[in-house]
């Protein structure tokens, strides 16, 4: 009997479908570690072992030994739907495993459409898991394939995901480069507005805001709203309002920001995407916190509602963002200890890859430590946050962080370091010192 290469993946899939653990499948004759090695493809089972496993799995031997290429496209499409459902329901790890199992049975040569759908699914699952570096490697490869074979890989979907990951990693220049190149090509094709095109515009708005280019962000936000209105797609319009509200907020136009984000909330509340609605509530709470008349209690109520939803349908990264906003709300309410707990938990959930959001959490920790009177810890946290922001090209935010650190240093009596921090702030805003050689004054002849 010829043992096919993909037998381990089929054993794993059938075992999980049967609700069995590796120990259950191993029984008394095998070990759980041996079953683990089989499923990982690190051991080749004998025909006798395959027969034992088939009996325990309650399947025909042929289900373990048939060539994986013989699995119908229809069956794999159904499994793709289940994997997508797992991802949308906030279980990215299960989604990743499901996509990987599908790809093991659909090669790029025999079933390319399914193969690349599974690859894109795995990349998106990795993004939700916070494993951004791994996601970028897969998305970069998919982007290359999409340039030559657009019928196999949806280019805009890939570019949007890639742009999001680069933004979270703090590589704003690369995010802008990829997205702007794609927008330029779309404009040359004169295809007209599309839902996915509006989504790309909205994603790019967020990147420009992070970099501090509010002029370009405002222009693209207005363009996104115009295009969304012309295609009469409520979801696209809601996303456009969402990003435009953030632009208005960053520009200090709080009333306009609240109006736009409340329009977005009304649109999303009528849909079925509870995860997106919860994330939008996070953004709404931030506007409430930083409005001309801050409303920290209302923001905390909104965020508590959002957190409840995200614990059911969101990823760990979604929950971390919500906890970050809750930390700010608690800080506003004078609950520094609670704010620290939220911010530290958010850092744990995010891991090292989410550099921009990690930097923001360090700034919250700094403010909370300062309110507790621990100026030394506040200095360390502010400096760390500022350096992370600067490294990610978010210079506008870094400048504010350096300025806040300068204030702390001045209050601590460290005037020389305060001047240094102020200079760091000015440098992030684009100021460069000019050294002029001054000649000693001389009398005119």
pLDDT in tens, 49-96: 888 888 888 888 877 776 544 567 788 888 999 999 888 888 889 999
Average pLDDT of 134-139? 95
Say whether pLDDT at 440 is over 50: no
* Average pLDDT of span 292-304: 93
In this prediction, residue 166 carries a pLDDT of 92
Task: Quote the pLDDT of residue 425.
Answer: 82
Q: How confident is the model at residue 1, as a pLDDT?
A: 47
Band of the pLDDT at 37, cuts 50, 70, 90?
A: confident
Q: Taken in order 411, 416, 421, 427, is the CA torsion positive or negative?
A: positive
| Whole-number pLDDT of residue 386 | 82
For every residue of the chain, which 3-state class applies, written as one string?
A: CCCCCCHHHHHHHHHHHCCCCHHHHHCCCCCHHHHHHHHCCCCCCCHHHHHHHHHHHCCCCHHHHCCHHHCCHHHHHHHHHHHHHHHHCCCHHHHHHHHHHHHHCCCCCCCHHHHHHHHHHHHHHHHHCCCHHHHHHHHHHHHHHHHHCCCCCCHHHHHHHHHHHHHHHCCHHHHHHHHHHHHHHHHHHCCCCCHHHHHHHHHHHHHHHHHCCHHHHHHHHHHHHHHHHHHCCHHHHHHHHHHHHHHHHHCCCHHHHHHHHHHHHHHHHCCCCHHHHHHHHHHHHHHHHCCCCCCHHHHHHHHHHHHHHHHHHCCHHHHHHHHHHHHHHHHHCCCHHHHHHHHHHHHHHHCCCCHHHHHHHHHHHHHHHHHCCCHHHHHHHHHHHHHHHHHCCCHHHHHHHHHHHHHHHHHCCCHHHHHHHHHHHHHHCCCCCCCCCCCCCCCCC
Q: Give the model's pLDDT for residue 443.
A: 38
Tokens of 307: 């957190």
> What is the reported pLDDT for 445?
35
Q: What is the pLDDT of residues 374-385, one digit of tens each?
A: 988 988 988 888
- Distance (Å, rounded) from C-alpha 314 to C-alpha 90? 4
Q: Please name the residue that has the structure tokens 């905390």.
A: 300
HSE-up of 257 (CA within 13 Å, CB side)? 22
Q: What is the predicted pLDDT for the residue at 416?
A: 86
Look at residue 13 in the predicted model and tell me its pLDDT.
78
pLDDT at 178 over 90: yes
% of the chain with per-residue pLDDT over 70: 94
Give the mean pLDDT of the chain: 85
Q: How far apart are CA 20 and CA 207, in angstroms?
A: 45
Residue 434's pLDDT band (cuts 50, 70, 90):
low
Residue pair 318/275 in contact by the 8 Å Cβ criterion: yes
Higher pLDDT, 134 or 433: 134
């Amino acid at each position: 009997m010829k043992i096919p290469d993909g037998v381990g993946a089929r054993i794993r899939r059938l075992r999980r479908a049967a609700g069995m653990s590796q120990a259950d499948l191993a029984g008394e004759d095998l070990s759980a570690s041996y079953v683990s090695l089989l499923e990982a493809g690190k051991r080749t089972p004998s025909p006798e072992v395959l027969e034992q496993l088939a009996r325990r799995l309650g399947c025909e031997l042929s289900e373990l030994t048939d060539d994986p290429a013989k699995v119908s496209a229809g069956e794999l499409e159904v499994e793709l739907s289940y994997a997508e459902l797992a991802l949308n329901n906030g279980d990215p790890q299960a989604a990743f495993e499901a996509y990987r199992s599908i790809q093991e049975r659909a090669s790029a040569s025999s079933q390319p459409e399914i193969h690349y759908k599974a690859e894109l699914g795995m990349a998106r699952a990795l993004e939700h898991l916070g494993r951004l570096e791994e996601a970028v490697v897969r998305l970069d490869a998919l982007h290359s394939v999409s340039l030559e074979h657009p019928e196999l890989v949806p280019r805009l979907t890939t570019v949007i995901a890639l742009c999001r990951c680069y933004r979270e990693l703090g590589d704003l220049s690369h995010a802008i480069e990829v997205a702007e190149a794609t927008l330029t090509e779309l404009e040359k094709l004169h295809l007209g507005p599309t839902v996915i095109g509006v989504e790309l515009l909205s994603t790019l708005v967020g990147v420009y805001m992070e970099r501090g280019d509010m002029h370009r962000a405002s222009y693209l936000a207005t363009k996104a709203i115009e295009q969304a209105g012309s295609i009469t797609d409520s979801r696209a319009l809601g996303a456009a309002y969402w990003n435009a509200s953030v632009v208005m907020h960053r520009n200090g136009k709080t009333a306009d920001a609240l109006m736009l984000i409340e329009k977005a909330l009304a649109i999303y509340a009528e849909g079925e995407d509870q995860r997106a609605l919860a994330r939008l509530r996070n953004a709404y709470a931030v506007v409430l916190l930083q409005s001309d008349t801050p409303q920290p209690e209302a923001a905390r109520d909104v965020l508590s509602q959002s957190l409840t939803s995200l614990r059911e349908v969101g990823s760990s990264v979604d929950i971390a963002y919500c906890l970050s906003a809750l930390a700010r709300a608690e800080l506003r309410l004078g609950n520094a200890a609670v704010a620290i707990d939220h911010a530290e938990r958010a850092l744990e959930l995010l891991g090292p890859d989410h550099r921009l959001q990690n930097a923001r959490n360090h700034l919250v920790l700094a403010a909370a430590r300062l309110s507790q009177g621990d100026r030394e810890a506040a200095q360390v946290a502010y400096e760390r946050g500022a350096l992370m922001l600067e490294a990610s090209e978010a210079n506008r935010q870094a400048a504010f962080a350096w300025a806040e650190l300068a204030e702390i240093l001045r209050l601590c009596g460290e005037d020389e370091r305060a001047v240094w921090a102020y200079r760091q702030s000015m440098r992030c805003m684009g100021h460069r010192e000019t050294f002029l050689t001054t000649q000693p004054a001389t009398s005119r002849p």
